[in-house]
Amino acid sequence: MAIAIMTSGGDCAGMNPAIKQFVDYCYSKNIQPYLIYDGLEGLIDNTIVKASYEDVAGIMHEGGTKIRSSRSKRFFELAYREQAYNNLQQHGIDKIVVLGGDGSFRAFNQFYKDFGINFVGIPSTIDNDIYGTDYCLGVDTALNMIRSATDAIRDTSASFKRACVIETMGRDCGYLALVTAITCGAEVCMIPELEYDLDKIAQRLKKELDNGRKYIVCVVSEGCKKNVCTSTQEIVNWLEKDLGIETRATILGHVQRGGNPTVFDRLMASEFTTFAVDYLLENEKSNSVIVYKNSQFEFVSIEYVNSGKYEIKKELLDLARRLVN
């Protein structure tokens, strides 16, 4: 029996711990593990190799993905999916663990419908925006990377009595910015999920500056650009014009995807992966996603994952409402 693992779409810390757990666990079950390099493109190009202990030795602390990733336009064409299927057949593989996001899962669902390749998807994205799961692999490490950067930027802002605007990733989801604002003590938080009033925020900040506040930390989600037409630079201009405070912007970018995986992400990687392998072994057919909901793991259909849009818990949003007006 052979089973493979691959990473698809955006990378995140936690993928390497998942890959190591996959290989070690498969060998403990007397199953031959395979590594698919370069994501969907690797499926098409047949960069599929038997995994050894050496392949995964010493990767628990490494960010990103040792087996690399990709986004593939070719995979949307049936001829290339058939080529990928034939490659898997050569290796005797009909089960795959897929670390990725909703786009990767949709691609594999079509692959399953075309050729019956069984898979379990593990939500792996720092955006934490997959419907049906409270947590995606890589989020905790990303938050810690952002926290470290925000704390450092605050230090220098305090030294010069400046405002700082820090932009996080997240696509259309403001989870990273929201949690960062709460846990780093930001004065302003701007995310797509919460309406904000710049005039009211300015009035509040002016009072706080008059009462001794020396600097301002404003955390902005990149999704604000798309949803409310407010860019990070516009926020900088607003702070300087309306409050008269010198302001610097920092767009954190891809530093959020890297870094040494946290203990929590390493543990979640091990649990996600172990349950995914067991599920594939116990079920003849699978086009499922393993999710973490209400502190429990469960398996749901692709249709369920695609049936709604992820929403941040109301309790978290309520914690930040005072920062938007």
Active-site amino acid positions? 127
Distances (CA, A) of 277 to 3, 22, 39, 212, 288: 8, 8, 19, 56, 12
What type of residue sits at position 171? R
As a whole number of angstroms, the distance between CA 165 and CA 226 comes to: 18
Q: For residue 134, which of 306, 293, 284, 303 has the smallest C-alpha distance?
A: 293
Q: Are 34 and 48 in contact (CB under 8 A)?
A: yes
Q: Contacts from 22-28 at CB under 8 Å and sequence distance 24+?
A: 22/51, 22/97, 22/273, 22/277, 23/51, 23/52, 23/53, 23/55, 23/56, 24/53, 24/56, 25/273, 25/274, 25/277, 26/51, 26/277, 27/53
Measured distance CA(18)–CA(20) in Å, rounded = 5
Q: How many residues does the chain have?
A: 325
Is residue 72 within 8 Å of residue 12, measured between CB atoms?
Answer: no
Amino acid identity of 234?
E
252-270 burial code (b ≥16 CB/10 A, e <16): beeebbebebbeebbebbb
